[in-house]
Structure 1
Amino acid sequence: MDSVTQAALGAAVAGAVAGRKCTPKVLLAGAALGTLPDLDVLISYGDPVSDMVKHRGFSHSLFVLIPFSFLLSWLWQAWRPTRFSFTHLWLLVAACLVTHPLLDSFTAYGTQLFWPINAPIAIPSLFIIDPLYTVPLLLVLLASLLWRDRIAKLCTAGLAVSSLYIVWSVSAMSVIDSRVEQQLAGTPLAGQPVFITPTPFNTVLWRVVVKGENHYFEGLSSILDGDTEIDFLQKTLGAWPEQLGSEHQQMLERFAGGFIKYEQRQSQIVASVLRMGMGEQLAFQFALAENSNGWTSIEPVRVESPRGRLAQIPNLWLRLLGNQDIDANLCHVSECPQQSVPLASR
């Protein structure tokens, strides 16, 4: 999640754990602890693919954060004794640190909760920025500064609301998953890999990607849709040259769970991660090979994806409300170059 959300979560957790001993300084410390794991973005792993794949690695691991919380609590007590017992202080520090990667695990990026074990956790039920999750936390923190005798209760209430929102997001994703399963049943795509994630800033409108043999199918489904049939757009997956080995290509495949598309752009092969983004606006794209008398692997180069247009915002809102004349590229179906076709014909 974004830094503002993580800081708000850390502060609210600190307020709830500190109880009657909480002060504005404790909230500030909690906010700092809540953003600490993301400092790994300052580490360069040598190339853009490694930087992406290894983000949310060791600094988000429970096997690292829990021992680190003991060390940090001991140093804190030794440097500046507090009103907290060591156990109470450790619980506060550990809770602020650990809730950061736990929240991150509900996004499409995924989190290495058990690093060095390579088993990333991703339950993609939240967009990386979601005001409906963040705003309640910010409101209770603001209220805590006004009613300092109620900080713990306010923070606990804020955490309860935000946690219920996560429960809602997982439930909504389950509804969309059931729709997709029912629609794919009896078609050539039954049993194929499916990826479901919310569209920007909400948990009502969901993006669905189904991976076939040579194509992938992208569609949108809103909880408010009257007709639960999803209009999918068929797009080409492309392929990586079989004879061409590339460690970075394999890293991307593992990271994305196979949800990668390959395109030849001029003299290069560009790999795009389908898990993050929408339509042609995919957040992570890398040039991995070039053609110079035959394909050869190159050092990865980050390719900028097209930026979203402000004109798409009204379409996003209309589609969220259940207008099914808007497709996965967030344009009116009648205006789009690619038209959806029934799954049975694919």
Structure 2
Amino acid sequence: MEKIKIAIATNGRLKPMGTFSRNYIEYLPFSKIVLFGGFVPYFYMGTSQKQQKILRYWYSLLSFKNQEKLSQLIKNRFKKILQKEKIDCVLAEFMNTGSAIREACEELNIPIVSNVLGYEIHQDAVLKKNYESYKKLAAYKSIVVPVAKNMVPRLKKIGFQEEQIIFSPLGARDEFFEIHPDYSSQNFVAIGRFAEMKSPLSTIKAFHKVLKECPNAKLLFAGEGELFEDTKNLVNQLNIQNSVEFVGWVTPEEQINLLSKSAIFIQHSVTTSTGDAEGTPVAILEASAAGLPIVSTRHGGIVDTVIDGKTGYLVEENDWEEMGNKMIELLQNPDRLKEFGQNGKKFISENFSMRKHIEEVEKAIRKAVNL
């Protein structure tokens, strides 16, 4: 452990959340504490739900349900933790977390490094609500780490300078590079939330087209979400339920098993009605690291991680027919399928490994501490 001490701030209300935080806890070479409980986090990792409930109730009584007074109580507790722990830098999991803690950190002269995952600057309502606080974060001793290149111009428009921006998508963990896909399986796999941004109905329509040419193909569809029932209903309407297996939410171990018995990874990401868009989808990074060719859309950070015609195929958003064509093309050309998969494994290893991402975040923290 080095002398630099950081606080990892995650806005999970009941517990620390997110792939980013888990990897930072494990791999960053600094002394660290983890805080959660809201956009201004004030619980240590390990705080029981009973303890959380007691403190929340006590703060509610002290503030007389006055939101401004409650916010001040939470901010003061957050500041006291930073002072007590002698924190040198706060690493925020989201940019709106970074902007929410900015005032407290500025009062203590503690720099902030903040991830930018996408929804903070792509989703219209979130951007509008936080725009002024983002500008204040840009004017402070802060560094932002966007996970997709298309976020950089938006960050500059807000006011972040070139030297405050370090592009670094989350990388694939080492165990995914050890996977050996089953290229002869004719199995497609999709892993992600059943939500508007992932357009699961487009995925089903594309797969339905595949079945007309490749009747032995199968789709393993993992995840949960608000569009699950709609997706399941479409499968029933198309009478393809024998070819689609809904796996539910999967653990990392189950995810590795799914990739191991599949040949091709698919994901039809689209920009939502509110303007929300993907950053760099971790599931695509991990599938490509595992050696699966990708069929996806020209969307968000996906264009940075899939080389069209070399590690997979990209189609326009909502063009499920062309997506189906590309899926058929790969199934009918097994040599190309395997070649794309191996190209992807090499490309992700060289450019998007977890090790590389951690090195970039470490670099950002060192730079921030010296601002």
TMscore range, shorter length: under 0.3
Q: TM-score, normalised by structure 1?
A: 0.23
Work out which structure has the larger RCO, using CA pairs closer than 8 Å and 6 or more positions apart in sequence: 2
